[in-house]
Structure 1
Amino acid sequence: MTSSSVPSGYDVVVLGGGVAGCVLAARLTEDPGRSVCLVEAGPDYGPRQRTWPEKILNARVLPRDDVWERHTAFYRIRARILGGSSCINGAWNTWGSHADHAEWTRAGGERWSARALEPYRLRAVERMGLRAVPDNELSAWASAALGAARELGYREVDMGAPGRPGYGRPLLNSAGGLRRNAAFAYLDPATRSRPNLTILADALVDRLSVRAGRVSGVHAVLDGERVTLQADTYVLASGTFGSPAVLLRSGIGPAAQLKENGIRCEADLPGVGANLSDQPGVFVPLSPTDGLNGALAAKEAAGELYNSRMLIRAASEYCPDGAWDLHLLPTAGAPLFGALPPGRYEAGVSAFLMKPVSRGHVRLRSADPLEPPEIAPAFLTDPAGRDIAVLRAGLEKAEELAAVLKPLAVPSDGAPAHALSDAGLRDRVGTYWHPVGTCAMGPAEDPRSVVDGQGAVHGVAGLRVADASILPTVPAANTQLPVLAVAEMLADTLRT
């Protein structure tokens, strides 16, 4: 669709065609009397899988072509494609603990409880076609890790449902090596054929027009030309990095920061861009034996090699009873970064901090929508040092697991990871790629909150946010399934 043929008026405009945006567009257009425009900055490869690039379909790799920034810092990677992060992630789906829902309920009300979200979790599982890892996708390493977890006393649990600490296999939105992303699941050919749905791909959202506390339009760039879209309701679903950037360019955010960028303040909300929370981790490298390398090579030759197919939910001493604050992730396969000679593989165990205390931020560098925002994850920086302490506990548990796996891979030379200095841990920190929190929900009287429990932006009529950015705390899980369920729930609030 060209800029000259774009209708301007809709009932709902959804800004962002990622995981949440696909859910919202599909659910809201189930009412034939409601017109919806879904705006995505990246490409739309169409309703048929055969027209999509092979890299995006291949669930054995993490594609990095359709992203906002190439060759950037690891924590800045974010999808720019219809389907969002479901097109570039590991296709893993896990669920958090009851403690997560207690945090969300305090911020957003009863609809955020585990019980209230359960039907939406089940709805997302069904629509995405999620399934547990089949036996044929387990490598020798993954099978040994399952046995090692049992040997260490962990109980087996369902990773895609509420539960307790333990080990298990995640739910996958892939089958036979083919990734089923949110665009396939929610924007299937039948959904796309609805006359009340318009999809604008390759359309960069600049800003919202806000006057007297109400949104009157959204400005975007399509085919190099500026277009203005109007609607009764505007829903931001541009992600934890993108949604606060759009709000800030629209004059919604901390007044002092807006002034620095020459932006008129329309709603002074200090929480916009603050409270960034992501899950940092450290990889414990191991040296595969010749036997493991041979087994992995055979698996790769059969087209069934996946780096990771099991995980462990573990609890540190800081964790509430019945919850977990760590993921232990054994991996073996092609290196995530770099390359190895044919027949040689990377193996190790990562410890990820699932409930970090540290908080970073997203800020504008300028009012230009083409200028990437400043993103500061602030990993392991909480003044009390709790994040460092929990991560050390996780690394000790990772090393215990590695010891049981010694027949297949042996520790590399050097000090154990848990014994590194604080600076040494920060030098080795990576991320699970699960950022949340930059448009956090909470009561209007809380200066740190941006939206209420239905995603409505405080003090701005007709505007909602419906993605991972509104979660005030990150769940003890991979965030794709929680975001799918939250978007399903928020779609219901928009339909009533």
Structure 2
Amino acid sequence: MTRSPIPSGHDVVVLGGGVAGCVLAARLSEDPGRSVCLVEAGPDYGPGREQWPRKLLDARALPRDDVWERHTAFYRIRARVLGGSSCINGAWNTWGSLADHAEWARAGGDRWSARALEPYRREAVDRMGLRTAPDEELSAWASAALTAAGELGYPEVDMGTPGPPGHGRPLLNAVDGLRFNAAFAYLDPATRARPNLTILDHALVDRLVVRQGRVRGAQVVVDGERTTLVARTYVLACGTYGSPAVLLRSGIGPAAHLKEIGVGCETDLPGVGANLSDQPGVFVPLSPTPELNARLAAKEARGELYVSRMLVRAASEYCPDGAWDLHLLPTAGPPLFGRLPPGQYEAGISAFLMKPVSRGQVRLRSADPLEPPVIDPGFLTDPDGRDVAVLRSGLGKVADLAAALRPLAAPTDATPAHTLSDADLRGRVGTYWHPVGTCAVGPADDPRAVVDGQGTVHGVPNLRIADASVLPTVPAANTQLPVLAVAGMLADTLPA
């Protein structure tokens, strides 16, 4: 098929068609007088579900075909498809605490407060069709975990709003096992039909052309050919790993690192690629009883088995009053990695550190856009050891929850996880896949800050960033719903 000529001269070019990019393209193109081009490195499978690969529609799985790197380190997984991570994640949506939004407001101003973001949260819930996990999707394990959490003193809470620690069910962007991703929600047929919106897929963002403190063009590679897109305003939405990589290739970032990779420095911003924050966790395996295996097998035979449909938000002794810094996640079903014989399942409970102190970074090996970035997640590396202490506290709470679930599963390890050495805990760490912060919002005099409260890159007035990378701290939540809301808020700050 021959591709149509690539138009240029837009009012706004949105670089990155993930969760945030879909929101931005839809919101910005609502103004018929503003032309918008949405650029995505991966495929656009179209407006109808019948055109999409079955794997991407299956909300019971974590598909790994449309990603940037196959068979890579677990923390590096990122989507390469229109709709972004909403196409490959667990379709879970939760919201952070009031303490999270207080942190954000200190960095970005009042529009980052819980009250100011509330309309955007509600809009995202409506657009994504979010609903609480229904009773019929609860396995015997999930139902027992809900009961056990209540008996342990965790009150029932709404996971889609701020509130106290407690237990509950996440909000889902899926119905009857079918995933409803951000491309469906925001780029529906009516939106796609707007004459002022262009969607350019299979287009790799190379770099921005920056001269005299302004972006003069965005270089993208389409079908092996380099093309420069020109606009009045450029909005990066390439994600926590992709957005800093584009900035670095464009000469925006720490001057010393730019020199290392042979890129001339256009704007010296030390915060680019720094402040990486993700949510590490440790999985505690449990051995299912024959009864639990049988009940899970019956649920799977009916096509109704979901690995998890509940969680507990818990507070360690380090957590501010009224907030939480842990997620306890009971799971039971087919293993995430590897296989088990038919009729046997993996069960366990993970403790995830939701508010880590540790910070990692994103750097480049070279200015080649095909070269994957160097990602150091920095899990559990804070010098005072607070992250390990909070995680250990969470694993103690996991032990209590596991004891309450013992009629269905028993511990497989002789040594309780919360008594392991710091080194052993670090060796078992995994991730919740919620990286943020590599282009953080903050005032211009903060060396860690990359953008102001409206997402404008410091020193580059016609360049904005509006994705998870701008979050100054990770919320105590799954990040899809917060990113949807923040992208909507930042879209409203762009001038007409």
TM-score (norm: length of structure 1): 0.99
Paired position in structure 1 for 2:108: 108
Answer yes or no: is 1:433 the counterpart of 2:437.
no
Answer yes or no: is 1:90 the counterpart of 2:90.
yes
Measure the CA separation in 2 of the matches of 1:241 and 1:490.
Answer: 19
Paired position in structure 1 for 2:242: 242
Matches within 5 A, 1:8-19: 8-19=8-19
Query: Match of 1:493, SS?
Result: coil
- Can you list the C-alpha shifts for 1:326-384, whole angstroms capped at 9, x where unaligned? 00000000001001000000000000000000000000110000000000001000000
Matches within 5 A, 1:291-306: 291-306=291-306
Answer yes or no: is 1:222 the counterpart of 2:200.
no
Cα pair 1:3 1:227 within 8 Å, conserved: no
Instruction: Using the TM superposition, give the Cα deviation of residue 2 of structure 1 relative to its aligned residue in structure 2, in angstroms.
Output: 5.9
Measure the CA separation in 2 of the matches of 1:193 and 1:385.
Answer: 53
Answer yes or no: is 1:316 the counterpart of 2:303.
no
Give the direction of change, closer, same or farther, for the CA distance of 1:284–1:217 in structure 2 (3 Å limit). same
Matches within 5 A, 1:320-335: 320-335=320-335
Measure the CA separation in 1 of the matches of 2:341 and 2:52.
Answer: 30
Paired position in structure 1 for 2:281: 281
Measure the CA separation in 2 of the matches of 1:4 and 1:286.
Answer: 55
Paired position in structure 2 for 1:418: 418
Q: Which amino acid aligns with 1:117?
A: L
Measure the CA separation in 1 of the matches of 2:2 and 2:163.
Answer: 49
Instruction: Using the TM superposition, give the Cα deviation of residue 4 of structure 1 relative to its aligned residue in structure 2, in angstroms.
Output: 6.5
Query: Match of 2:482, SS?
Result: helix
Matches within 5 A, 1:22-171: 22-171=22-171
Measure the CA separation in 2 of the matches of 1:195 and 1:417.
Answer: 57
Paired position in structure 2 for 1:365: 365
Which consecutive unaligned segments of at least 5 residues does structure 2 have?
A: none
Q: How many residues align?
A: 496
Instruction: Using the TM superposition, give the Cα deviation of residue 448 of structure 1 relative to its aligned residue in structure 2, in angstroms.
Output: 1.2
- Deviating more after overlay: 167-176 vs 411-420: 411-420
CA RMSD of the aligned region, Å? 0.8
Measure the CA separation in 1 of the matches of 2:490 and 2:127.
Answer: 16
Q: How much identity, in percent, do the aligned residues show?
A: 81
- Can you list the C-alpha shifts for 1:56-84, whole angstroms capped at 9, x where unaligned? 00000000000000000000000000000
Paired position in structure 2 for 1:380: 380
Measure the CA separation in 1 of the matches of 2:47 and 2:294.
Answer: 40
Instruction: Extract structure 1 runs of 4+ deviating beyond 4 A.
Output: 1-4
Q: Which amino acid aligns with 1:293?
A: N
Q: Which amino acid aligns with 1:88?
A: I
Paired position in structure 2 for 1:448: 448
Measure the CA separation in 2 of the matches of 1:394 and 1:476.
Answer: 14
Cα pair 1:3 1:223 within 8 Å, conserved: no
Instruction: Using the TM superposition, give the Cα deviation of residue 461 of structure 1 relative to its aligned residue in structure 2, in angstroms.
Output: 2.0
Measure the CA separation in 2 of the matches of 1:436 and 1:217.
Answer: 26
Q: Which amino acid aligns with 1:301?
A: A
Cα pair 1:2 1:223 within 8 Å, conserved: no
Paired position in structure 1 for 2:486: 486
Q: Which amino acid aligns with 2:164?
A: R
Answer yes or no: is 1:457 the counterpart of 2:457.
yes
Measure the CA separation in 2 of the matches of 1:21 and 1:375.
Answer: 22
Q: Which amino acid aligns with 2:320?
A: P
Instruction: Using the TM superposition, give the Cα deviation of residue 494 of structure 1 relative to its aligned residue in structure 2, in angstroms.
Output: 1.3
Query: Match of 2:230, SS?
Result: strand
Paired position in structure 1 for 2:261: 261
Query: Match of 1:362, SS?
Result: strand
Query: Match of 1:234, SS?
Result: strand
TM-score (norm: length of structure 2): 0.99
